[in-house]
Protein backbone atom coordinates (compact mmCIF):
# COMPACT_ATOMS: atom_id res chain seq x y z
CA UNK A 1 0.00 0.00 0.00
CA UNK A 2 1.42 3.29 -1.06
CA UNK A 3 1.65 5.90 1.65
CA UNK A 4 0.04 9.18 0.86
CA UNK A 5 2.14 12.17 1.92
CA UNK A 6 0.34 15.45 2.22
CA UNK A 7 2.55 18.34 1.35
CA UNK A 8 2.48 21.38 3.56
CA UNK A 9 1.73 24.56 1.63
CA UNK A 10 4.43 27.21 1.98
CA UNK A 11 1.87 29.70 3.21
CA UNK A 12 1.01 27.41 6.13
CA UNK A 13 4.61 26.52 6.94
CA UNK A 14 5.84 30.09 7.32
CA UNK A 15 3.57 30.95 10.26
CA UNK A 16 4.63 27.76 12.04
CA UNK A 17 8.28 28.58 11.40
CA UNK A 18 7.66 31.99 12.95
CA UNK A 19 5.93 30.70 16.08
CA UNK A 20 8.98 29.86 18.20
CA UNK A 21 11.08 32.98 17.50
CA UNK A 22 7.99 35.15 17.86
CA UNK A 23 7.16 33.54 21.21
CA UNK A 24 10.75 34.08 22.30
CA UNK A 25 10.54 37.74 21.25
CA UNK A 26 7.33 38.27 23.19
CA UNK A 27 8.98 36.68 26.21
CA UNK A 28 11.90 39.07 25.76
CA UNK A 29 9.53 42.05 25.93
CA UNK A 30 7.83 40.65 29.03
CA UNK A 31 11.21 40.35 30.77
CA UNK A 32 12.29 43.80 29.58
CA UNK A 33 9.40 45.66 31.23
CA UNK A 34 10.35 45.01 34.90
CA UNK A 35 14.07 45.24 34.11
CA UNK A 36 13.70 48.70 32.57
CA UNK A 37 11.33 49.96 35.26
CA UNK A 38 13.81 48.81 37.90
CA UNK A 39 16.63 50.61 36.09
CA UNK A 40 14.56 53.81 36.05
CA UNK A 41 13.47 53.62 39.68
CA UNK A 42 15.56 56.65 40.74
CA UNK A 43 14.33 58.96 37.98
CA UNK A 44 12.46 62.13 38.92
CA UNK A 45 11.27 65.17 37.03
CA UNK A 46 14.09 67.24 35.56
CA UNK A 47 14.68 70.44 33.61
CA UNK A 48 12.87 70.15 30.23
CA UNK A 49 9.89 68.37 31.76
CA UNK A 50 8.96 71.46 33.75
CA UNK A 51 8.37 73.40 30.53
CA UNK A 52 5.57 70.94 29.72
CA UNK A 53 4.35 70.63 33.32
CA UNK A 54 4.37 74.29 34.33
CA UNK A 55 4.86 76.32 31.16
CA UNK A 56 2.14 75.02 28.85
CA UNK A 57 -1.65 75.22 28.84
CA UNK A 58 -3.88 73.03 26.65
CA UNK A 59 -6.19 76.01 26.14
CA UNK A 60 -3.45 78.13 24.57
CA UNK A 61 -2.61 77.79 20.87
CA UNK A 62 0.81 79.32 21.49
CA UNK A 63 1.57 76.92 24.35
CA UNK A 64 0.59 73.93 22.22
CA UNK A 65 2.64 74.87 19.17
CA UNK A 66 5.49 77.01 20.52
CA UNK A 67 8.77 75.08 19.99
CA UNK A 68 10.72 73.54 22.83
CA UNK A 69 14.41 74.10 22.08
CA UNK A 70 13.57 74.36 18.35
CA UNK A 71 11.53 71.12 18.51
CA UNK A 72 7.88 70.95 17.45
CA UNK A 73 6.48 69.12 20.49
CA UNK A 74 2.68 69.32 20.41
CA UNK A 75 1.79 65.62 21.08
CA UNK A 76 4.26 65.27 24.00
CA UNK A 77 2.93 68.52 25.49
CA UNK A 78 -0.64 67.20 25.33
CA UNK A 79 0.35 63.86 26.88
CA UNK A 80 2.31 65.50 29.71
CA UNK A 81 -0.45 67.98 30.47
CA UNK A 82 -3.04 65.19 30.66
CA UNK A 83 -0.82 63.08 32.91
CA UNK A 84 -0.18 66.06 35.17
CA UNK A 85 -3.93 66.56 35.58
CA UNK A 86 -4.45 62.90 36.43
CA UNK A 87 -1.44 61.98 38.60
CA UNK A 88 0.45 65.25 39.03
CA UNK A 89 3.90 64.75 40.51
CA UNK A 90 2.76 62.11 42.99
CA UNK A 91 4.55 59.40 41.04
CA UNK A 92 7.07 59.35 38.21
CA UNK A 93 6.05 55.83 37.13
CA UNK A 94 3.41 56.92 34.55
CA UNK A 95 5.91 59.27 32.93
CA UNK A 96 8.59 56.57 32.95
CA UNK A 97 6.06 54.26 31.29
CA UNK A 98 5.90 56.69 28.37
CA UNK A 99 9.59 56.40 27.52
CA UNK A 100 9.79 52.66 28.20
CA UNK A 101 6.63 52.00 26.21
CA UNK A 102 7.81 54.08 23.25
CA UNK A 103 11.19 52.33 23.32
CA UNK A 104 9.67 48.83 23.34
CA UNK A 105 7.27 49.80 20.56
CA UNK A 106 10.31 50.89 18.59
CA UNK A 107 11.96 47.52 19.24
CA UNK A 108 8.88 45.76 17.81
CA UNK A 109 8.86 47.97 14.73
CA UNK A 110 12.55 47.42 14.04
CA UNK A 111 12.00 43.67 14.08
CA UNK A 112 9.00 44.11 11.81
CA UNK A 113 11.03 46.07 9.26
CA UNK A 114 13.62 43.31 9.18
CA UNK A 115 11.02 40.58 8.75
CA UNK A 116 9.41 42.50 5.89
CA UNK A 117 12.86 42.73 4.32
CA UNK A 118 13.23 38.95 4.33
CA UNK A 119 15.41 38.61 7.43
CA UNK A 120 15.13 35.24 9.19
CA UNK A 121 12.92 35.54 12.31
CA UNK A 122 15.69 34.32 14.63
CA UNK A 123 18.23 36.75 13.18
CA UNK A 124 15.72 39.61 13.36
CA UNK A 125 15.08 38.75 17.00
CA UNK A 126 18.78 38.50 17.83
CA UNK A 127 19.45 41.87 16.17
CA UNK A 128 17.09 43.73 18.51
CA UNK A 129 18.00 42.00 21.78
CA UNK A 130 20.93 44.30 22.75
CA UNK A 131 18.86 47.32 21.73
CA UNK A 132 15.99 46.20 23.95
CA UNK A 133 18.30 46.78 26.94
CA UNK A 134 20.30 49.56 25.27
CA UNK A 135 22.04 51.03 28.28
CA UNK A 136 24.36 52.92 25.92
CA UNK A 137 21.41 55.22 25.20
CA UNK A 138 19.61 54.83 28.53
CA UNK A 139 18.49 58.47 28.67
CA UNK A 140 15.93 57.87 25.90
CA UNK A 141 14.58 54.81 27.71
CA UNK A 142 14.60 55.85 31.36
CA UNK A 143 13.82 59.59 31.25
CA UNK A 144 10.14 60.10 30.52
CA UNK A 145 10.68 63.33 28.61
CA UNK A 146 12.64 61.52 25.90
CA UNK A 147 9.59 59.50 24.87
CA UNK A 148 9.12 62.32 22.37
CA UNK A 149 12.20 61.24 20.42
CA UNK A 150 11.31 57.55 20.44
CA UNK A 151 7.78 58.47 19.35
CA UNK A 152 9.17 60.37 16.37
CA UNK A 153 11.32 57.40 15.34
CA UNK A 154 8.51 54.88 15.88
CA UNK A 155 5.97 56.94 13.93
CA UNK A 156 8.54 57.48 11.20
CA UNK A 157 9.06 53.72 10.89
CA UNK A 158 5.29 53.20 10.76
CA UNK A 159 5.25 55.73 7.92
CA UNK A 160 7.99 53.75 6.15
CA UNK A 161 6.10 50.47 6.60
CA UNK A 162 2.90 52.04 5.27
CA UNK A 163 4.71 53.14 2.11
CA UNK A 164 6.32 49.75 1.57
CA UNK A 165 3.65 48.13 -0.63
CA UNK A 166 2.69 47.56 -4.25
CA UNK A 167 -0.29 49.01 -6.01
CA UNK A 168 -1.88 52.45 -6.22
CA UNK A 169 -2.13 55.10 -3.54
CA UNK A 170 -4.78 54.20 -0.99
CA UNK A 171 -5.83 54.36 2.64
CA UNK A 172 -2.57 52.81 3.74
CA UNK A 173 -0.67 55.78 2.33
CA UNK A 174 -2.97 58.22 4.09
CA UNK A 175 -2.40 56.36 7.35
CA UNK A 176 1.33 56.58 6.71
CA UNK A 177 1.09 60.35 6.26
CA UNK A 178 -0.78 60.58 9.57
CA UNK A 179 1.99 58.68 11.35
CA UNK A 180 4.56 60.87 9.64
CA UNK A 181 2.78 63.99 10.86
CA UNK A 182 2.62 62.74 14.46
CA UNK A 183 6.33 61.95 14.32
CA UNK A 184 7.11 65.37 12.84
CA UNK A 185 5.09 67.13 15.55
CA UNK A 186 6.72 65.15 18.38
CA UNK A 187 10.36 66.25 17.99
CA UNK A 188 12.96 67.41 15.50
CA UNK A 189 13.89 63.77 14.91
CA UNK A 190 10.72 63.57 12.83
CA UNK A 191 12.44 65.59 10.10
CA UNK A 192 14.94 62.87 9.25
CA UNK A 193 12.19 60.25 9.49
CA UNK A 194 10.26 62.08 6.77
CA UNK A 195 13.47 61.83 4.74
CA UNK A 196 13.55 58.08 5.36
CA UNK A 197 9.95 57.81 4.16
CA UNK A 198 10.81 59.77 1.02
CA UNK A 199 13.76 57.52 0.18
CA UNK A 200 11.68 54.40 0.81
CA UNK A 201 8.93 55.62 -1.50
CA UNK A 202 11.45 56.63 -4.17
CA UNK A 203 13.18 53.23 -4.17
CA UNK A 204 10.03 51.17 -3.68
CA UNK A 205 7.41 52.92 -5.83
CA UNK A 206 8.70 55.97 -7.70
CA UNK A 207 9.11 59.74 -7.54
CA UNK A 208 5.37 60.56 -7.55
CA UNK A 209 4.78 58.56 -4.39
CA UNK A 210 7.95 60.04 -2.89
CA UNK A 211 6.57 63.55 -3.44
CA UNK A 212 3.18 62.51 -2.08
CA UNK A 213 4.74 61.36 1.18
CA UNK A 214 7.06 64.35 1.52
CA UNK A 215 5.54 67.56 0.17
CA UNK A 216 2.45 67.72 2.45
CA UNK A 217 4.54 67.17 5.58
CA UNK A 218 7.27 69.57 4.46
CA UNK A 219 4.62 72.20 3.71
CA UNK A 220 3.06 71.87 7.16
CA UNK A 221 6.49 72.09 8.76
CA UNK A 222 7.36 75.27 6.86
CA UNK A 223 4.00 76.78 7.86
CA UNK A 224 4.78 75.96 11.50
CA UNK A 225 8.25 77.47 11.23
CA UNK A 226 6.90 80.63 9.64
CA UNK A 227 3.79 81.10 11.76
CA UNK A 228 5.68 80.79 15.03
CA UNK A 229 8.86 82.48 13.76
CA UNK A 230 10.99 79.55 14.95
CA UNK A 231 14.65 80.49 15.25
CA UNK A 232 17.61 78.13 15.12
CA UNK A 233 19.95 78.02 18.09
CA UNK A 234 22.39 80.93 18.12
CA UNK A 235 25.35 78.55 18.40
CA UNK A 236 24.26 76.24 15.56
CA UNK A 237 27.00 75.64 13.03
CA UNK A 238 29.81 76.26 15.51
CA UNK A 239 32.33 73.75 16.81
CA UNK A 240 33.85 70.64 15.24
CA UNK A 241 30.79 69.41 13.36
CA UNK A 242 32.44 66.54 11.41
CA UNK A 243 34.04 65.17 14.58
CA UNK A 244 30.76 65.07 16.47
CA UNK A 245 28.89 63.52 13.52
CA UNK A 246 31.50 60.77 13.19
CA UNK A 247 31.52 60.19 16.94
CA UNK A 248 27.74 59.78 16.99
CA UNK A 249 27.92 57.09 14.30
CA UNK A 250 30.96 55.33 15.77
CA UNK A 251 29.65 55.35 19.34
CA UNK A 252 26.24 54.08 18.19
CA UNK A 253 27.78 51.08 16.45
CA UNK A 254 30.11 50.52 19.41
CA UNK A 255 27.05 50.62 21.65
CA UNK A 256 25.36 47.85 19.69
CA UNK A 257 28.51 45.73 19.95
CA UNK A 258 29.23 46.61 23.56
CA UNK A 259 32.70 47.88 22.65
CA UNK A 260 34.51 49.58 19.78
CA UNK A 261 36.19 46.34 18.68
CA UNK A 262 32.99 44.27 18.77
CA UNK A 263 31.07 47.08 17.08
CA UNK A 264 33.64 47.26 14.29
CA UNK A 265 33.44 43.49 13.80
CA UNK A 266 29.64 43.65 13.66
CA UNK A 267 29.78 46.51 11.17
CA UNK A 268 32.26 44.69 8.93
CA UNK A 269 30.28 41.44 9.05
CA UNK A 270 27.06 43.27 8.18
CA UNK A 271 28.74 45.31 5.44
CA UNK A 272 29.84 42.09 3.73
CA UNK A 273 26.27 40.85 3.94
CA UNK A 274 24.81 44.07 2.55
CA UNK A 275 27.23 43.81 -0.38
CA UNK A 276 26.03 40.23 -0.96
CA UNK A 277 22.40 41.34 -0.82
CA UNK A 278 23.04 44.16 -3.29
CA UNK A 279 24.88 41.83 -5.65
CA UNK A 280 22.05 39.30 -5.47
CA UNK A 281 19.52 42.02 -6.23
CA UNK A 282 21.60 43.20 -9.20
CA UNK A 283 21.99 39.72 -10.66
CA UNK A 284 18.42 38.59 -10.22
CA UNK A 285 16.72 41.91 -10.79
CA UNK A 286 14.73 41.27 -7.63
CA UNK A 287 15.22 42.19 -4.03
CA UNK A 288 15.84 45.90 -4.50
CA UNK A 289 12.49 46.76 -3.01
CA UNK A 290 13.13 44.66 0.07
CA UNK A 291 16.23 46.71 0.79
CA UNK A 292 14.44 50.04 0.44
CA UNK A 293 13.31 50.50 4.05
CA UNK A 294 16.53 49.35 5.80
CA UNK A 295 18.63 51.39 3.39
CA UNK A 296 16.50 54.50 3.85
CA UNK A 297 16.68 54.22 7.64
CA UNK A 298 20.48 53.87 7.51
CA UNK A 299 20.66 57.03 5.38
CA UNK A 300 18.45 58.75 7.94
CA UNK A 301 20.91 57.72 10.67
CA UNK A 302 23.73 59.49 8.83
CA UNK A 303 21.55 62.56 8.27
CA UNK A 304 20.53 62.61 11.93
CA UNK A 305 24.16 62.45 13.05
CA UNK A 306 25.02 65.36 10.76
CA UNK A 307 22.10 67.55 11.79
CA UNK A 308 22.66 66.84 15.48
CA UNK A 309 26.32 67.75 15.13
CA UNK A 310 25.42 70.98 13.34
CA UNK A 311 23.18 72.04 16.21
CA UNK A 312 25.23 70.82 19.18
CA UNK A 313 28.90 70.71 18.20
CA UNK A 314 29.52 74.00 20.01
CA UNK A 315 29.03 72.16 23.31
CA UNK A 316 31.44 69.26 22.84
CA UNK A 317 32.73 66.82 20.19
CA UNK A 318 31.50 64.02 22.46
CA UNK A 319 27.91 62.95 21.69
CA UNK A 320 25.08 63.00 24.21
CA UNK A 321 23.78 59.48 24.77
CA UNK A 322 20.30 60.41 23.53
CA UNK A 323 21.76 60.69 20.01
CA UNK A 324 23.20 57.18 20.22
CA UNK A 325 19.81 55.59 20.93
CA UNK A 326 18.20 57.16 17.85
CA UNK A 327 21.14 56.47 15.53
CA UNK A 328 21.49 52.85 16.64
CA UNK A 329 17.78 52.26 16.09
CA UNK A 330 18.00 53.48 12.50
CA UNK A 331 21.05 51.31 11.76
CA UNK A 332 19.70 48.03 13.16
CA UNK A 333 17.51 46.97 10.18
CA UNK A 334 20.42 47.19 7.72
CA UNK A 335 22.67 45.36 10.20
CA UNK A 336 20.05 42.59 10.34
CA UNK A 337 19.78 42.46 6.54
CA UNK A 338 23.55 42.12 6.26
CA UNK A 339 23.82 39.39 8.88
CA UNK A 340 20.98 37.49 7.21
CA UNK A 341 22.65 37.65 3.79
CA UNK A 342 25.92 36.24 5.15
CA UNK A 343 24.15 33.35 6.87
CA UNK A 344 22.11 32.66 3.76
CA UNK A 345 25.28 32.42 1.66
CA UNK A 346 27.38 30.60 4.28
CA UNK A 347 25.11 28.77 6.78
CA UNK A 348 28.13 27.62 8.81
CA UNK A 349 28.59 31.24 9.91
CA UNK A 350 25.25 31.25 11.73
CA UNK A 351 26.96 30.95 15.12
CA UNK A 352 29.32 33.81 14.25
CA UNK A 353 26.38 35.99 13.22
CA UNK A 354 24.51 35.21 16.43
CA UNK A 355 27.60 35.95 18.53
CA UNK A 356 28.19 39.32 16.86
CA UNK A 357 24.55 40.34 17.16
CA UNK A 358 24.32 39.36 20.83
CA UNK A 359 27.79 40.26 22.12
CA UNK A 360 26.68 43.75 23.15
CA UNK A 361 23.93 42.53 25.49
CA UNK A 362 25.94 42.23 28.76
CA UNK A 363 27.54 45.66 28.39
CA UNK A 364 24.23 47.32 27.62
CA UNK A 365 22.44 45.70 30.55
CA UNK A 366 25.26 46.91 32.79
CA UNK A 367 25.02 50.45 31.37
CA UNK A 368 21.35 50.76 32.27
CA UNK A 369 22.49 51.77 35.76
CA UNK A 370 25.18 54.12 34.47
CA UNK A 371 23.08 57.26 34.80
CA UNK A 372 24.03 60.92 34.84
CA UNK A 373 23.06 62.05 38.38
CA UNK A 374 22.09 65.49 37.08
CA UNK A 375 19.42 64.05 34.76
CA UNK A 376 17.87 62.02 37.60
CA UNK A 377 16.33 65.16 39.08
CA UNK A 378 15.94 65.89 42.78
CA UNK A 379 12.69 64.82 44.41
CA UNK A 380 13.56 66.10 47.88
CA UNK A 381 14.52 69.53 46.57
CA UNK A 382 11.37 69.83 44.48
CA UNK A 383 8.94 68.82 47.20
CA UNK A 384 10.77 70.87 49.85
CA UNK A 385 10.45 74.01 47.74
CA UNK A 386 6.78 73.32 47.07
CA UNK A 387 6.05 72.75 50.76
CA UNK A 388 7.83 75.95 51.85
CA UNK A 389 6.25 77.98 49.04
CA UNK A 390 2.81 76.84 50.21
CA UNK A 391 3.25 76.91 53.99
CA UNK A 392 5.24 80.16 54.20
CA UNK A 393 3.04 82.04 51.71
CA UNK A 394 6.04 83.00 49.55
CA UNK A 395 5.47 85.71 46.92
CA UNK A 396 3.83 83.85 44.00
CA UNK A 397 6.07 85.48 41.40
CA UNK A 398 9.29 84.14 42.91
CA UNK A 399 11.14 81.79 40.59
CA UNK A 400 13.26 79.38 42.68
CA UNK A 401 17.00 79.57 42.32
CA UNK A 402 17.31 76.15 40.71
CA UNK A 403 17.96 74.89 37.20
CA UNK A 404 14.35 74.38 36.07
CA UNK A 405 11.98 76.03 33.63
CA UNK A 406 11.25 79.74 33.97
CA UNK A 407 7.61 78.73 34.39
CA UNK A 408 8.25 77.13 37.79
CA UNK A 409 7.28 79.78 40.32
CA UNK A 410 6.40 79.75 43.99
CA UNK A 411 2.78 80.25 42.93
CA UNK A 412 2.81 77.17 40.69
CA UNK A 413 4.42 75.10 43.44
CA UNK A 414 1.93 76.33 46.04
CA UNK A 415 -1.03 75.64 43.74
CA UNK A 416 0.31 72.14 43.18
CA UNK A 417 0.29 71.47 46.91
CA UNK A 418 -3.21 72.94 47.24
CA UNK A 419 -4.61 70.81 44.40
CA UNK A 420 -2.88 67.62 45.56
CA UNK A 421 -0.91 67.32 42.32
CA UNK A 422 2.32 67.95 44.23
CA UNK A 423 2.67 65.99 47.48
CA UNK A 424 3.42 67.93 50.65
CA UNK A 425 6.22 66.49 52.81
CA UNK A 426 7.31 66.96 56.40
CA UNK A 427 10.53 68.97 56.45
CA UNK A 428 13.51 68.85 58.76
CA UNK A 429 14.91 72.16 59.96
CA UNK A 430 17.80 71.88 57.50
CA UNK A 431 15.47 71.11 54.58
CA UNK A 432 13.27 74.08 55.45
CA UNK A 433 16.23 76.47 55.65
CA UNK A 434 17.67 75.19 52.38
CA UNK A 435 14.37 75.57 50.52
CA UNK A 436 13.74 78.96 52.10
CA UNK A 437 17.14 80.18 50.90
CA UNK A 438 16.34 79.08 47.34
CA UNK A 439 13.08 81.03 47.49
CA UNK A 440 14.81 84.12 48.89
CA UNK A 441 16.08 85.09 45.45
CA UNK A 442 13.98 85.90 42.38
CA UNK A 443 15.71 84.97 39.14
CA UNK A 444 14.83 87.71 36.65
CA UNK A 445 14.35 87.10 32.92
CA UNK A 446 17.10 88.12 30.51
CA UNK A 447 14.96 90.86 29.03
CA UNK A 448 14.21 92.61 32.32
CA UNK A 449 14.38 96.42 31.99
CA UNK A 450 17.10 97.44 34.44
CA UNK A 451 19.70 100.14 34.91
CA UNK A 452 22.92 98.50 36.08
CA UNK A 453 26.19 99.90 37.41
CA UNK A 454 29.34 97.76 37.36
CA UNK A 455 31.02 97.22 40.72
CA UNK A 456 34.03 95.29 41.92
CA UNK A 457 33.15 91.67 42.63
CA UNK A 458 33.03 91.07 46.35
CA UNK A 459 32.08 88.15 48.54
CA UNK A 460 30.18 87.86 50.76
CA UNK A 461 27.61 90.19 49.26
CA UNK A 462 24.77 91.44 51.47
CA UNK A 463 21.52 92.19 49.67
CA UNK A 464 18.57 93.96 51.23
CA UNK A 465 15.01 93.21 50.18
CA UNK A 466 14.43 94.35 46.59
CA UNK A 467 18.10 94.79 45.65
CA UNK A 468 19.18 93.34 42.31
CA UNK A 469 22.59 92.01 41.29
CA UNK A 470 23.73 90.75 37.89
CA UNK A 471 26.52 88.21 37.37
CA UNK A 472 28.20 87.46 34.06
CA UNK A 473 27.78 83.67 33.65
CA UNK A 474 28.54 83.27 37.34
CA UNK A 475 28.38 80.48 39.87
CA UNK A 476 27.07 81.70 43.19
CA UNK A 477 25.71 80.51 46.50
CA UNK A 478 22.75 82.14 48.23
CA UNK A 479 22.77 82.14 52.03
CA UNK A 480 19.83 83.39 54.05
CA UNK A 481 20.66 85.35 57.21
CA UNK A 482 18.84 84.07 60.28
CA UNK A 483 20.19 86.17 63.17
CA UNK A 484 23.70 84.93 63.86
CA UNK A 485 23.00 81.64 62.07
CA UNK A 486 23.16 81.05 58.35
CA UNK A 487 21.27 78.33 56.53
CA UNK A 488 23.08 75.81 54.33
CA UNK A 489 24.26 77.29 51.03
CA UNK A 490 22.31 76.83 47.82
CA UNK A 491 24.56 76.42 44.80
CA UNK A 492 23.41 77.81 41.49
CA UNK A 493 25.04 77.86 38.07
CA UNK A 494 23.87 80.01 35.16
CA UNK A 495 22.36 77.94 32.36
CA UNK A 496 25.16 76.40 30.26
CA UNK A 497 27.56 79.02 31.61
CA UNK A 498 26.59 81.61 28.99
CA UNK A 499 24.82 84.94 29.17
CA UNK A 500 24.08 86.62 32.48
CA UNK A 501 22.31 85.69 35.69
CA UNK A 502 20.23 88.41 37.33
CA UNK A 503 18.65 87.94 40.77
CA UNK A 504 16.53 90.09 43.07
CA UNK A 505 16.45 89.60 46.83
CA UNK A 506 12.93 88.81 48.01
CA UNK A 507 14.18 89.30 51.56
CA UNK A 508 17.62 90.04 53.07
CA UNK A 509 20.17 87.45 51.99
CA UNK A 510 23.91 86.96 51.83
CA UNK A 511 25.57 85.68 48.64
CA UNK A 512 28.90 83.94 48.83
CA UNK A 513 31.30 82.52 46.27
CA UNK A 514 31.32 78.72 46.28
CA UNK A 515 34.66 77.08 47.10
CA UNK A 516 37.12 77.13 44.23
CA UNK A 517 35.16 79.64 42.15
CA UNK A 518 35.58 83.37 41.73
CA UNK A 519 32.83 85.70 40.57
CA UNK A 520 33.49 87.56 37.32
CA UNK A 521 32.03 90.97 36.52
CA UNK A 522 29.22 92.08 38.80
CA UNK A 523 26.63 94.86 38.51
CA UNK A 524 24.17 96.36 40.98
CA UNK A 525 20.88 97.13 39.23
CA UNK A 526 17.62 98.94 39.76
CA UNK A 527 14.39 98.92 37.79
CATH assignment of the domain containing 521: 2.60.120
Q: Quote the pLDDT of residue 61.
A: 93
pLDDT digits (tens, 9 = 90+) for 478-495: 565 554 455 556 655 443
**Does 307 reside within a domain?**
yes
Q: What is the mean pLDDT of residues 9-38?
A: 82
DSSP structure string for 405-441 = -TT--HHHHHHHHHHTSS---PPPHHHHHHHHHHTTE
Q: What is the mean pLDDT of residues 58-72?
A: 92
pLDDT digits (tens, 9 = 90+) for 116-142: 999 999 999 999 999 999 999 999 999
398 versus 37: which is more confidently predicted? Answer: 37
**Does 159 reside within a domain?**
yes
Q: Quote the pLDDT of residue 234.
A: 63
Instruction: Choose from 200-204, 236-240, 459-463 the range with maximum mean pLDDT.
Output: 200-204
Q: Quote the pLDDT of residue 14.
A: 52
Nearest residue to 243 via CA among 161, 195, 299, 312: 312
Confidence of residue 403 (pLDDT cuts 50, 70, 90): low
Interatomic CA distance for residues 109 and 153, integer angstroms: 10
Nearest residue to 420 via CA among 9, 19, 89, 20: 89
Do 466 and 350 share a structural domain? no
Residue ending a domain, among 374, 394, 410, is 374
Q: What is the mean pLDDT of residues 326-341?
A: 97
Whether 264 has a pLDDT exceeding 50, the answer reads yes
**Does 200 reside within a domain?**
yes
pLDDT digits (tens, 9 = 90+) for 223-262: 999 988 877 766 777 788 999 999 999 999 999 999 999 9
Q: Quote the pLDDT of residue 290.
A: 84
**Does 148 reside within a domain?**
yes
Nearest residue to 128 via CA among 210, 24, 1, 264: 24
Residue ending a domain, among 352, 374, 396, is 374
47-56, 73-82, 229-238, 288-297: the lowest-pLDDT one: 229-238
* End-to-end Cα, the chain, rounded Å: 107
Q: Quote the pLDDT of residue 281.
A: 82
Q: Are 14 and 41 in contact (CB under 8 A)?
A: no
When divided into structural domains, the chain yields a total of 2
Residue ending a domain, among 330, 351, 374, is 374
Q: Quote the pLDDT of residue 345.
A: 94
DSSP 8-class letter at 120: -
Q: Are 117 and 286 in contact (CB under 8 A)?
A: no
Q: What is the mean pLDDT of residues 112-118?
A: 95
% of the chain beyond a pLDDT of 70: 88
227 versus 4: which is more confidently predicted? Answer: 227
Task: Residue 469: give the domain boundaries.
Answer: 442-527
195 versus 521: which is more confidently predicted? Answer: 195
With b meaning 16 or more CB within 10 Å and e meaning fewer, what string describes 62-84? Answer: ebbbbbbeebbbbbbbebbbebb
Do 179 and 270 share a structural domain? yes
Do 284 and 165 share a structural domain? yes
pLDDT digits (tens, 9 = 90+) for 72-81: 999 999 999 9
Do 482 and 358 share a structural domain? no
Whether 272 has a pLDDT exceeding 60, the answer reads yes
Q: Quote the pLDDT of residue 10.
A: 40
Whether 446 has a pLDDT exceeding 90, the answer reads no
Amino acid sequence: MTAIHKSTPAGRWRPRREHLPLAFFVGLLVVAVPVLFHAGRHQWFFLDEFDFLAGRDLRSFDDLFRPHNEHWSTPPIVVYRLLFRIVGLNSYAPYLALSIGAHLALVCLLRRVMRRSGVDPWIATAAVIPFTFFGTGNENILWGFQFAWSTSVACGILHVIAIDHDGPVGRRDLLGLLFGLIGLMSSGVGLVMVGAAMLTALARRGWREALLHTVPLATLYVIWLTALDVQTASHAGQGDIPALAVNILVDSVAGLGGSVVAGAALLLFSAVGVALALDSARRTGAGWRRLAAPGALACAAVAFAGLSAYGRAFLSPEPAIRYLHVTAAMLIPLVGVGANAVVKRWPKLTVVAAALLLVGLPANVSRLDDRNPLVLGNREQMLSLATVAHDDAVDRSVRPLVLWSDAVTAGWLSDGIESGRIPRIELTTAQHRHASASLALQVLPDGASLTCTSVAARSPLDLDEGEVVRFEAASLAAVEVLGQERSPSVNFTGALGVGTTTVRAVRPVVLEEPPGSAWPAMSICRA
